[in-house]
Chains A and B, each alone.
Chain A
Amino acid sequence: MDAKTRPFDRGLLANIVDYSEDAIVSKDLNGVITSWNKGAERIFGYKAHEIIGRPVSILIPPDRIDEEPGILERIRHGERVEPYHTVRRRKDGSFVEVSLQVSPVRDENGKVVGASKIARDISEQRRAQERLQRSEERFRVTLASIGDGVIATDTQGRVTFMNAVAEKLTGWSQPDSLGIPLEEIFQILSEIDRSRVENPVARVLREGNVVGLGNHTILVAKDGSERPIDDSAAPVRDTNGEIIGVVLIFRDASPKRDAQMAAMKLAAIVENSDEAIISKDLNGIITSWNKGAERIFGYTAAEAIGKPISFVPESRQEEERKVLERIKNGQQVQHYETTRMARDKREIDVLMSVSAVRNPSTGQIIGASKIMQNITARKKTERELADTRRQIEIHAQKLETEVAQRTTQLRETVAELEAFCYSLSHDMRAPVRAIQSYSELVLADEGKKLAPTSVEYLQKAISAAERMDQLIQDVLAFTRLSRQEIAVVPVDVDRLVHDIIAERPELQPAKADIRVESPLLQVRGHAASLTQCITNLLDNAVKFVAKGIKPKVRVRTEASNGKVRLEIEDKGIGIEQEAQRRLFQMFQRIHTGQEYEGTGIGLAIVRRAAERMGGSVGLQSKVGHGSQFWVELPGVDA
């Protein structure tokens, strides 16, 4: 009331107060509002006339009502209340954040009569600030959760922020790093010579540009461990374009580096392979060409790559087209042998293996890779071998034909021989028989009338015919032995020998002294053939003795090493060393016919028979002391 009437409330000052954005309110020392400007109307919603004369407490929220007595107390003492943030209530009951400044109002005498309050609505300012904070928080969270390491610095290159990945890669924690120069926590070396690499932040600050680190940078972590990294750094500018800091982004390049290393190794393997390893796109344009391909085909990589080199011979074009077709369709192609043309037009045999080349990300087939092994030498050897084999086959065929021809000839010869023997036995014996028989008949019918010399001649004719007949029969026996199949079975030699002796007149005790050391051992043989052997040997044993001496013969068997040796020993005239060797051959007679009769076939038959039974024959002899002939055959127990 008083205040309304005061002249200084009017005029210029009043104008300023009225148009202030801030609420400018005055109150007396009792807390009753004494003035209310337009700003106050806007902020608190009360019109001046509505609120002047009312206690200021209606603006204070219930939980802050205690503020007022303190403020009033300080005003009474003439103190100012410095601006502070508080909350006041609007007319509509909503709250408003304000920055409040309270000053004492004095009268002309300097006496404190009230207080003026300047309240500034700070809700808007506060919200803006909060927005900013939230935004900063979001950036912080974003940076923190980014997959790469992020470090931010101020313009001095000191760390202001680092995310978890950066903490992990450097080994430094954010709290330990804040305010520290970047180079202390971010030590980088050249992978190539291990020299120190300049801190990228320093470069950004110097150059003001985005800086990407060269490859081959190694980050040394706090614990000394090293890992390859890729990184880049960029300046952070404010709205005026002033640099206010630097952000450094880096990542662990080990997986990429490993993959690069692996790729390099593979490339080295491909490059150094003896085999030609090439790739083509689907149009047949060569996209890679290794050293092996250079060596084998004579084109350098520079000559081959990018060109459709026609090293596929004309005759193989169709094959090549089919193979590429299969590859395009994603089908497998088995190894196959084919030929390619070298630069010098030489044809080269290769073992080819083809596979599809796919785009690594899409899997789409974009070409074909070929591995070719030079097998020219091998093929040459194979061809030579085949030639040789063919020649051998031809030769073998010739030989077979020859053998067949000779076999036929031999068969014919054998057949002729058989026919000859057959005819020998029939046709030749008949006249011999006739000579002998007619001579005998003349002697029988007319013998008494004949002169003694005529009788003697006839007797000689008869004995000659007899010898001839024996000869024929022996030859037949010998050839029969050669031809006929014989079955070898256990033979009772003891019985065989006794039977032979009993049957033959010249072996009777009256004529010969034959001692058999019974029981003789059994052998495996052929009874008829063995009979022939023993008969011939016994005949010989009693035949070849000095005139007038009674033959003495001993027959015995002896086993050794599963074999049985049948020995026939005589005390006869013996055989000269010289003659012994040819004794078992055909027609070998070592005595004249006058002395001892014989055809010269007997021992040949013995030998042949023994051999046919799987045995052998032999003799020991001394002239004047006798001979021991033996036949050795498999024993029965063997």
Chain B
Amino acid sequence: MSSSATLLIAEDDDNDLFFLQRAFDTAEVKNPLQIVRDGQEAIEYLSGAGSFADRIKFPFPHLFLLDLKMPRKTGMEVLEWLSEQPELRCLPVVVFSSSANRRDIERAYELGANAFVVKPSGVIERAELAKAMGLFWLESNEPPVICTDGIEAARKAGGECAES
């Protein structure tokens, strides 16, 4: 879409976060990255609650990269929460996990995830993935109203995503 489209990353591991940020750098994906460090914080960010109320500072993301294994609330719990929010469940979600656990994969899709990716180990593979994601999700993909115009607009639009 545009290079201003925000990417929200939920990741508790410092190393993984560092590698991911570096991968986006390497892949020259310039979009702003918003970071939350656990599931609870992710929910707060997405619902614009507390310190995340300011949508100018913390804009609604076009893509949500979600790690599964996190403290406070796990990635799966965030997905569950999302599936219960009529306005929010249109948000494209890419699950980032350390393993291709069959049960996790099925459950994640069941709860509305749009992709399931196993974290690459190598620097090069990671950079390639960051580039592919930038190309696909942030440029090729047409996001729903909520990502571009926010919750209010999504509500007015008649909730095409919601309750459909």
Interface residue ranges, A against B (CB under 8 Å): 422, 425-427, 429-430, 432-434, 436-438, 440-441, 444, 465-466, 469, 473, 476, 480, 484
Measured between beta carbons, the chain B residues less than 8 angstroms from A430 are 13, 15-16, 98
User: Can you list 6 A-B contacts (CB < 8 A)?
Assistant: A425-B98, A430-B16, A433-B98, A434-B16, A438-B15, A440-B123
Within 8 A of A (CB), among B109-142: 119, 121-124, 126
B99, CB-defined interface residue at 8 Å? yes
B73, CB-defined interface residue at 8 Å? no
Q: Once the chains bind, are B101 and A429 in contact (CB under 8 Å)?
A: no
Measured between beta carbons, the chain A residues less than 8 angstroms from B99 are 422, 425-426, 429, 473, 476
Apart from A437-B123, A469-B121, list 14 A-B contacts with CB within 8 A. Answer: A422-B101, A425-B99, A426-B99, A427-B69, A429-B119, A429-B121, A430-B15, A432-B121, A441-B123, A444-B123, A466-B122, A473-B99, A480-B102, A484-B102
Q: Once the chains bind, are A433 and B119 in contact (CB under 8 Å)?
A: yes
Measured between beta carbons, the chain A residues less than 8 angstroms from B155 are none
- Docked CA distance A553–B15 (Å): 42
Known pairs A430-B16, A441-B22; A425 contacts B123 (CB<8 A): no
Q: Once the chains bind, are A436 and B122 in contact (CB under 8 Å)?
A: yes
Q: Once the chains bind, are B121 and A425 in contact (CB under 8 Å)?
A: no
- By beta carbon, the residue of chain B nearest A465 is B121
Q: Report the minimum CB–CB distance from A287 to chain B (whole Å).
A: 86
- By beta carbon, the residue of chain B nearest A473 is B99
Q: Report the minimum CB–CB distance from A480 to chain B (whole Å).
A: 7
Measured between beta carbons, the chain B residues less than 8 angstroms from A440 are 122-124
Within 8 A of A (CB), among B22-37: 22
Q: Once the chains bind, are A433 and B123 in contact (CB under 8 Å)?
A: no
Q: Once the chains bind, are B101 and A466 in contact (CB under 8 Å)?
A: no
Tally of A-B Cβ pairs under 8 angstroms: 54
- Docked CA distance A473–B126 (Å): 18
- By beta carbon, the residue of chain A nearest B23 is A437
Checking A426, A436, A441, A444 against B121 with a beta-carbon cut-off of 8 angstroms, the contacting residue is A436
- Docked CA distance A580–B69 (Å): 41
Q: Report the minimum CB–CB distance from A340 to chain B (whole Å).
A: 71
Q: Once the chains bind, are A433 and B101 in contact (CB under 8 Å)?
A: no
Interface residue ranges, B against A (CB under 8 Å): 13, 15-16, 19, 22, 68-69, 97-99, 101-102, 119, 121-124, 126
- By beta carbon, the residue of chain B nearest A485 is B102
Q: Once the chains bind, are A437 and B121 in contact (CB under 8 Å)?
A: yes
Measured between beta carbons, the chain A residues less than 8 angstroms from B121 are 429, 432-433, 436-437, 465-466, 469
Q: Report the minimum CB–CB distance from B135 to chain A (whole Å).
A: 22
- Docked CA distance A432–B99 (Å): 13
Q: Once the chains bind, are B102 and A433 in contact (CB under 8 Å)?
A: no
Measured between beta carbons, the chain A residues less than 8 angstroms from B123 are 437, 440-441, 444
- By beta carbon, the residue of chain A nearest B103 is A484
- By beta carbon, the residue of chain A nearest B98 is A426
Q: Report the minimum CB–CB distance from B122 to chain A (whole Å).
A: 7
- Docked CA distance A436–B16 (Å): 12
Q: Once the chains bind, are B98 and A437 in contact (CB under 8 Å)?
A: no
Measured between beta carbons, the chain B residues less than 8 angstroms from A426 are 68-69, 97-99
Q: Once the chains bind, are A434 and B102 in contact (CB under 8 Å)?
A: no
- Docked CA distance A296–B88 (Å): 93
Measured between beta carbons, the chain B residues less than 8 angstroms from A465 are 121
- By beta carbon, the residue of chain A nearest B102 is A484
- Docked CA distance A425–B22 (Å): 23
- Docked CA distance A48–B13 (Å): 184
Measured between beta carbons, the chain A residues less than 8 angstroms from B22 are 441
- Docked CA distance A466–B123 (Å): 12
- Docked CA distance A427–B123 (Å): 19
- Docked CA distance A484–B102 (Å): 9
List 8 A-B pairs, minimum CB-CB distance, nearest first.
A425-B99, A440-B123, A426-B98, A434-B15, A426-B69, A429-B98, A433-B121, A469-B121
Q: Report the minimum CB–CB distance from A431 to chain B (whole Å).
A: 8
- Docked CA distance A17–B85 (Å): 170
Measured between beta carbons, the chain A residues less than 8 angstroms from B13 are 430
Q: Once the chains bind, are A437 and B101 in contact (CB under 8 Å)?
A: no
Measured between beta carbons, the chain B residues less than 8 angstroms from A476 are 99
